């Protein structure tokens, strides 16, 4: 539930409300706005709590939160949140572009790709050091060696790095090397992993599962938020549908819906949605037009020789062309908004 304090209520009132919430075994989350301070009471519902809190002088109202996800809901946090990763800020108006290989294959190739995407306009570098693959005999990633390569590329090119963490036991290791943790679609409901990441206090990119609703997605984000980590960026990467000419179906409606329901930034992954490079740019533009705060795409110097997901990786030239289109779209949307 939300406890709304009166305008100008002193800090003593806020402290009293927080103490009362914690005495009843719940967590208090304070959100200070320009005119009002709101306290979220998170935990098992207590039917006595609303009357107890309303009796405190300086409390204006107590409102129940109807959605099952509390911290991720706009009911709790009305304005858009921003997430900062190094020098990059998600949710500040301009789209954040993340690009790089699906998997870190070796130092030379990764370095070449990092140099290319930096020149093309990317602000962050992606790359998988641990790869959860359907086939156990497929390339599984370089592990810590891949993390070291990503770290070296970050230091050389100034690109903050995001990589997927697949195992709760590896969270601490991955945190030592990268700037942002990715939770892949397969692990969106790996609650042990989500709880561990919630304790890590490292920015998180949470991908939506291919068979998950927006509600499921936001409840997964709630696990991370409730652990104390409020630096969460959502990522729409396509859901399973009837179409068999694409890997998945990019759900632009889910982007618009999530923008209504949550204050968290949202980006789109057109590479995994399409599964083919000729559709990546149109889907990226569609996602941004629907309100996404950025994109994450796969780029490779030689996609035909990539060890992982080569058919959906953009060439350097295709990435540069897409970036020009994104810049044109951004200027047009800014002009319309003004």
- For 83-337, CATH number out of 3.30.565.10, 3.30.70.60, 3.20.20.70, 3.60.10.10 equals 3.20.20.70
pLDDT tens digit sequence for 272-281: 999 999 999 9
Q: For domain 2-63, give its CATH number from 3.40.50.720, 3.40.50.850, 3.20.20.70, 3.30.70.1140.
A: 3.30.70.1140
| Rounded mean pLDDT, 161-185 | 96
Q: What letter does residue 185 receive in the DSSP assignment?
A: G
The residues spanned by each domain of the chain are: 2-63, 83-337
Secondary-structure percent of the chain, ordered helix, strand, coil, rounded to 5: 40, 20, 40
pLDDT, tens digit, 9 for 90 and up, residues 61-87: 888 777 888 899 998 788 999 999 999
d(CA 76, CA 63): 10
Calculate mean pLDDT across residues 254-283: 97
pLDDT value, residue 143: 92
3-state secondary structure of 81: coil
Beta strand 96-100 with 88-90 is unpaired
Contact of 165 with 193, CB cutoff 8 Å: yes
Query: In this structure, what DSSP letter does residue 131 have?
Result: -
DSSP characters over 237-303: --B--S--SSSSB--HHHHHHHHHHB-S-EEE-HHHHHSSGGGHHHHHHHHHHTT-SEEEEEB-S-G
């Amino acid at each position: 539930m939300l406890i709304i304090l009166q305008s100008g209520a002193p800090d003593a009132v806020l402290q009293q409300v927080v103490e009362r919430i914690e005495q009843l075994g719940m967590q208090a989350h304070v959100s200070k706005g320009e005119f009002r301070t709101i306290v979220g009471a998170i935990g098992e519902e207590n039917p006595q709590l609303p009357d107890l809190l309303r009796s405190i002088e300086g409390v204006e109202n107590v409102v129940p939160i109807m959605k099952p996800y509390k911290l991720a809901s706009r009911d709790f946090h009305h304005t858009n949140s921003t997430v900062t990763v190094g020098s990059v800020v998600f949710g500040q108006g301009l789209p954040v572009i993340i690009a790089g290989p699906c998997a870190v294959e070796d130092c030379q190739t990764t370095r070449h790709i990092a140099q290319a995407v930096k020149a093309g306009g990317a602000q962050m570098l992606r790359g998988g050091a641990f790869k959860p693959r359907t086939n156990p005999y497929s390339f599984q990633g370089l592990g810590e060696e891949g993390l070291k390569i990503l770290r070296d590329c970050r230091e050389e090119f100034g690109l903050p790095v995001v990589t997927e963490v697949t195992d709760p036991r590896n969270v601490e290791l991955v945190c030592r090397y990268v700037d942002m943790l990715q939770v892949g679609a397969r692990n969106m409901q790996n609650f042990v992993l989500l709880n561990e990441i919630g304790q890590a206090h490292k920015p998180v990119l949470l991908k939506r599962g291919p068979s998950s609703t927006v509600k499921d997605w936001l409840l997964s984000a709630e696990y991370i938020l409730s652990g104390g980590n409020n630096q969460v960026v959502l990522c729409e990467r396509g859901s399973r549908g009837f179409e068999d000419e694409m890997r998945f179906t990019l759900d632009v409606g889910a982007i618009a819906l999530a923008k209504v329901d949550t204050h968290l930034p949202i980006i789109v992954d057109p590479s995994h949605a399409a599964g083919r490079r000729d559709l990546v740019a149109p889907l990226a533009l569609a996602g941004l037009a629907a309100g996404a705060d950025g994109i994450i795409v796969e780029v490779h110097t030689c996609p035909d020789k990539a060890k992982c997901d080569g058919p959906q990786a953009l060439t350097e030239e295709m990435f540069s062309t897409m970036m020009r289109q994104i810049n044109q779209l951004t200027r047009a949307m800014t002009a319309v908004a003004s």
